Structure 1
Amino acid sequence: MSLMISVSGIRGIVGNSLTPDVLTSFAQAFATWLRSEKSSTAERYPDAQPKIVIGRDTRPTGEVIAGIVGSTLALCGCRVVDIGVATTPTVEIATVKERADGGIIVTASHNPVEWNALKLLDSEGEFLNESELGELLRILDRRRFTLADWSHTGTVEKKKGYDDAHIRDILNLSCIYPEKIAACRYSVLVDAVEGAGSTVMPELCRRLGVGRVETISCEGSGIFPRNPEPIAAHLTATVDALRKTGCDFAIVVDPDVDRIALVCEDGSLFGEEYSLVACADYYLKHRPGPVVNNLSSSRALRDVAGKYGQECLSAKVGEANVIDLMKACGAVIGGEGNGGIILPELHFGRDALVGAALLIQAFTDWRERNSGNSALSGFRKSFPSYFMAKQKESFDGNREKLQSLFDDIAERHPDAKATMTDGMKLDFADEWVHVRPSNTEPVLRIYAEAGSVERAKSLAEQFAGELEAGSGGWR
């Protein structure tokens, strides 16, 4: 199994592709890269030692990996602030509040428990973009690391309190009204899949004004009771728990809490694609402006933006790519169709905590305007209706040959607008298909959207067949 290296992090299976040598090499390269960045910003950072925030999810391997990485950074002359178990967005916020030069999150997000990863942040608490990652990889390739002698080694300081700081920042947002939420007396089930959200998400709900908070898989053990990706096929136990508790809806997050999914009162899924759609529909009433998603996201966001006379733009898949486009166009909200919400008013990062706050507030606002309907499933039906099918095909092969195959397939569909900036996306009049190599797994992702479930599945299967027919060189 090869190491997965992208703007989404350095991911691998612990003890297989993610080894102590890999961890220490990337830590040394990151410290060296930060020193080169500091040399051009000496006025802002007069201290010669780079400051780096580290946080981790609850995976059993997380603590020892954070220890290895933190110690390596200290031996490179860095000051490390270890905030312990924390969500990915919390580490991003802590990096800014600490006025640090960078951050590292030890998490493999939605990957199974045997995986782990290093997600690298810059001084703004944002993922390295493709250019910055390229610079770091060149340092790694040369293996000319900047180390410290015995008298200039750094330190590792442990610090707590950032969960509370993150919650306070959310409650202080201009569009969040806990008193209105409290008046609804919601009962909510939280499923944190034993990850970093086990404590902070239930606490956020309480402080938002939720009347009753029930939990499932919120002990923080790091032993995931199911596949941790929050999609329908993995949430049967959550749906069962929702029915048993009689809660109004369920909030589900992945292990590092950068993605959110909702389960309606009747056990149906709100739809991960529609988390961003609902948040944007509510937020654009308060702050109009462009919105951004990625190429694999639903057209429903475009429809919502159009309702407010705003533009919807699509970036390559990957949080760093979405953020770059959001900054370029001045977007007021954005994210990815997998349940990742990015609100620049808070910070530039996918954040399931702010996503939960916006979704509960948006639902509350809708209830005020539709007093005859108080169910989350009714709220979901208020949005444009599209259906998506998602498939995976094993792929760990030649990307250049794969792109050549994409070109051949696109030529056979002249009725579609082809976008080749991230694999192949073909936009037809009433539907689309997007095929691309994953940034996080050795697979090829095939996403299709259409006006019905059956048509979306048929479209995905059609292009899986076209790929298979021309697969002589791409696997």
Structure 2
Amino acid sequence: MTLIKSISGFRGTIGGRPGENLTPVDIVESAAAYGEWLKESAPRPLVIIGRDGRSTGKILTDLVRSTLLSQGIDVIDIGLTTTPTIEMYIPFKKADGGIIFSASHNPMNWNALKLFNEVGEFISAEDGERIIEISQDRAFFFSKYTSIGALTRDDVAIDYHITQVLDHPWVRVEDIRKKEYRVVVDCINSTGSISMIPLLEKLGCTVIPLFDEITGEFEHDPEPLEKNLEVLLETVKQESADLGISVDPDVDRIAFITEQGKMFGEEYTIVSIADYLFDNKLIDRSVSNLSSTRALSDVCHRYNGTYQASAVGEVNVVTKMKESGADYGGEGNGGVIVGNLHYGRDALIGAALFLSGLTHFDITPSAWKARLPIYQMSKMKVALQPTISPDNILDDLEHRYKDENLDLQDGLKIDFPDYWVHIRKSNTEPIIRIYTEAPTLERAKEVARSFKTEIQELFDAK
């Protein structure tokens, strides 16, 4: 069982001993640390909280809400919601921060407190370290009964989010409505049912819902892999649908299924939308992280645009987008980021822009995939020996490949003409991760196996 206190929040498995798992003690201490951090810059902060469809979300809500109120912090509880909804609602309500209770694609036995700042973005590394310091020192102060916080309940946040997506200038609302698309949506019994389905209906789509009751239990593993989406793939074919959509439990990632009932490819969510935006001259640059597909870079260069890569992690992608002036970016996990809407991954704007692209090119999803550069990715890992420093291994590889095209901002990425390899140490496990991409899956696996052998040889030589 696991408890992870990181710069982005507090995540763990439910139950067990305090300090080892995400227990009520850890939840209260984590919330109190965040509350104290807020009070360092705002004498009476306002915080927005919400949760995905996990059964344990109610417990986290009760504990965190009471903790913040006891610290003299005002709380707006928007209940069942999505991560991007909270990100947008924080600046709209002029709040000082926000928390969503969601472990994203992790299984049901996990949950988390994901923390946001006053502009609705994930807290910075520096702020995260400060919150962890407060938690470790238990430097909490609770208010007297005369100055506890005020609680407000709000059930229109998702409506606000949907309206902002429909009003976005890049979304071709009327063109989509004319097409009357038939779309199958796998909501995994979480908040996609109260966000993605209403959005698609407002776009004139006929929606065939799957697992759209928020029961507290996910119908299948939340990771949008083909083996987990068999019902969605088969339903798209049976219903002769134009498109299938899978969202994760907090609706910040999206994957598409073609009209043939085949995976469009999670890596290609951001690539396809970039193709639409570049073709319409709506953007001239884009950003993704170092472990995302090269296809996005290829699309940028096809339109004489600019591409930049960031370190892995949504915060890093957003930082690079701001530095480079890019309004569009994302991650290869299906995370679409539209900066002139908000700086966070958002499946709702992702769906609206993908449908806009289908209408713009007047194309089917499978035909659209065929016009994009095609690569295949492999992911492997190497277990670390206790006496071996991963940094030393990366330094050795950097020296060996010093004459190649290297990127050192997040581990080591070596960009060869026909393929790339990205090697980085894990922040949560004693392993080194090896990501490779090549024109074929066999070539990608071959490259990964070769580097895995090379790393193991370096272990033996130490």
Shorter-chain TM range is over 0.9
1:52 to 2:40 alignment: no
CA distance in 2, matches of 1:399, 1:162: 51
1:215/1:442 Cα in 2 relative to 1: closer, same or farther (>3 Å)? farther
CA distance in 1, matches of 2:133, 2:165: 38
CA distance in 2, matches of 1:90, 1:442: 35
Preserved contact between residue 71 and residue 156 of structure 1 (Cα < 8 Å): no
Residue 351 of structure 1 corresponds to which residue in structure 2? Answer: 346
1:155 to 2:150 alignment: yes
CA distance in 2, matches of 1:94, 1:175: 21
Preserved contact between residue 69 and residue 75 of structure 2 (Cα < 8 Å): yes
2:400 to 405, 408, 412: 412
Residue 428 of structure 1 corresponds to which residue in structure 2? Answer: 416
| 3-state secondary structure, aligned to 2:72 | coil
Shift of 1:435: 2.6
1:292/1:469 Cα in 2 relative to 1: closer, same or farther (>3 Å)? same
TM-score, with normalisation over the residues of structure 2?
A: 0.93
1:31 to 2:20 alignment: no
1:452 to 431, 440, 443: 440
Residue 361 of structure 1 corresponds to which residue in structure 2? Answer: 356
1:245 maps to amino acid: E
Preserved contact between residue 242 and residue 259 of structure 2 (Cα < 8 Å): yes
2:95 to 90, 96, 100: 100
Q: Which moved more, 1:313-322 or 1:412-421?
A: 412-421
5+ long unaligned stretches in structure 1: 39-47, 368-373
User: For 1:76-91, what aligned pairs fall within 5 Å after superposition?
Assistant: 76-91=71-86
| 3-state secondary structure, aligned to 2:316 | helix
Residue 15 of structure 1 corresponds to which residue in structure 2? Answer: 15
| 3-state secondary structure, aligned to 1:37 | coil
CA distance in 1, matches of 2:434, 2:214: 33
1:225 to 2:229 alignment: no
5+ long unaligned stretches in structure 2: none
Residue 230 of structure 2 corresponds to which residue in structure 1? Answer: 236
Preserved contact between residue 382 and residue 431 of structure 2 (Cα < 8 Å): yes
Preserved contact between residue 5 and residue 439 of structure 1 (Cα < 8 Å): no
Residue 167 of structure 1 corresponds to which residue in structure 2? Answer: 162
Residue 215 of structure 1 corresponds to which residue in structure 2? Answer: 209
1:472/1:353 Cα in 2 relative to 1: closer, same or farther (>3 Å)? farther
Preserved contact between residue 28 and residue 67 of structure 2 (Cα < 8 Å): yes
1:294 to 2:289 alignment: yes
2:27 maps to amino acid: L
1:257 to 251, 262, 270: 251
1:359 maps to amino acid: F
Preserved contact between residue 185 and residue 210 of structure 2 (Cα < 8 Å): yes
Preserved contact between residue 390 and residue 432 of structure 2 (Cα < 8 Å): no
Residue 242 of structure 2 corresponds to which residue in structure 1? Answer: 248
Residue 181 of structure 1 corresponds to which residue in structure 2? Answer: 176
CA distance in 2, matches of 1:355, 1:393: 34
State the percentage of identical aligned residues: 40
1:203/1:440 Cα in 2 relative to 1: closer, same or farther (>3 Å)? farther
2:261 maps to amino acid: G
CA distance in 2, matches of 1:442, 1:168: 44
Cα deviation code 1:25-47 (max 9, x no counterpart): 11111111111122xxxxxxxxx
Cα deviation code 1:77-103 (max 9, x no counterpart): 100111001010011111111110000
Preserved contact between residue 387 and residue 451 of structure 1 (Cα < 8 Å): yes
1:386 to 2:375 alignment: yes
CA distance in 1, matches of 2:211, 2:48: 27
Residue 280 of structure 1 corresponds to which residue in structure 2? Answer: 274
Cα deviation code 1:391-412 (max 9, x no counterpart): 35667x8798112122223333
Residue 42 of structure 1 corresponds to which residue in structure 2? Answer: none
1:131 to 126, 131, 152: 126
Preserved contact between residue 398 and residue 473 of structure 1 (Cα < 8 Å): no
Preserved contact between residue 170 and residue 282 of structure 2 (Cα < 8 Å): no
Preserved contact between residue 227 and residue 234 of structure 1 (Cα < 8 Å): yes
2:446 maps to amino acid: S
Shift of 1:155: 2.5
1:389/1:120 Cα in 2 relative to 1: closer, same or farther (>3 Å)? same
| 3-state secondary structure, aligned to 1:272 | coil
Q: Which moved more, 1:151-160 or 1:282-291?
A: 282-291
CA distance in 1, matches of 2:349, 2:387: 36
Preserved contact between residue 9 and residue 128 of structure 2 (Cα < 8 Å): no
TM-score, with normalisation over the residues of structure 1?
A: 0.91
1:311/1:410 Cα in 2 relative to 1: closer, same or farther (>3 Å)? same
Cα deviation code 1:290-344 (max 9, x no counterpart): 2110010111111121233322111111111111111111111011111000001
Preserved contact between residue 265 and residue 376 of structure 1 (Cα < 8 Å): yes
1:163/1:286 Cα in 2 relative to 1: closer, same or farther (>3 Å)? farther
Preserved contact between residue 8 and residue 124 of structure 2 (Cα < 8 Å): no
Preserved contact between residue 259 and residue 340 of structure 1 (Cα < 8 Å): yes
Preserved contact between residue 5 and residue 132 of structure 2 (Cα < 8 Å): no
1:447/1:401 Cα in 2 relative to 1: closer, same or farther (>3 Å)? same
Residue 190 of structure 2 corresponds to which residue in structure 1? Answer: 195
Cα deviation code 1:161-209 (max 9, x no counterpart): 1111111000001121222112222111001111221221111111112
Cα deviation code 1:142-172 (max 9, x no counterpart): 2222321221111222210111111100000
Cα deviation code 1:238-264 (max 9, x no counterpart): 211222222111011111111100011
CA distance in 2, matches of 1:471, 1:10: 33
2:12 maps to amino acid: G
CA RMSD across the alignment: 2.2
| 3-state secondary structure, aligned to 1:181 | helix
Preserved contact between residue 280 and residue 304 of structure 1 (Cα < 8 Å): yes
Shift of 1:288: 2.6
Shift of 1:219: 1.1
2:231 maps to amino acid: A
Shift of 1:237: 2.1
Preserved contact between residue 289 and residue 330 of structure 1 (Cα < 8 Å): no
2:74 maps to amino acid: R
CA distance in 1, matches of 2:168, 2:67: 38
Preserved contact between residue 31 and residue 146 of structure 1 (Cα < 8 Å): no
Preserved contact between residue 105 and residue 119 of structure 1 (Cα < 8 Å): yes
